[in-house]
Amino acid sequence: MKHLILGGARSGKSRYAESLSLQEHSPNSNYWYVATATPRQDSEMLSRIEQHKNSRDKKWQLVEEPTNLAEAIARYNTPQDCILIDCLTLWLTNCLLENNWQEQKENFLDAISQTKASIYCVSNEVGSGIVPLGELSRQFVDEAGALHQVLAQQCDKVTLVVAGMPLALKQEK
């Protein structure tokens, strides 16, 4: 099962993904929380990361992977594995800054299509705003939108979270 969970900043998408994945899987499952955030010398971001860690259920085993999501998915590739990736837009930013986006994206999409694990992908919906002024910002919005469209086709479920409320966009068939 693959589930894409989209929402704006502070929409409740991470909390929803964590709760849903724990509800949908056996207590005996292996729970992997793949975090893509990096503090990058930013104390405010470091504080957010710590707050996220402290609020999670203790069943989650943390895997910090800022760029190579395909490798993380390949490591935990059994039907007993439940992988929550948070968040794809931070991952996109990391890859754009390291100039390896196209390669990482292709590897990730391939890994998603081949995995036996259940995957929950959390990402920021950025397509509802205005077109940004800067070139890198426009590239980010374009790539995030393209990634979401391709991933939505591969996923069994797609949910948009607004104000903590989930809205099903695509359900399993």
Which residues are known catalytic residues? 52
| Dihedral angle sign, alpha carbons of residues 59, 65, 68, 71 | negative
On whether the CB atoms of residues 30 and 61 are closer than 8 A, the answer is yes
**Angle subtended at Cα 168 by Cα 115 and Cα 124, rounded to the nearest 5 degrees:** 70
Give Dmax (Cα) for the chain. Answer: 48
Cα distance between residue 129 and residue 141, in whole Å: 10
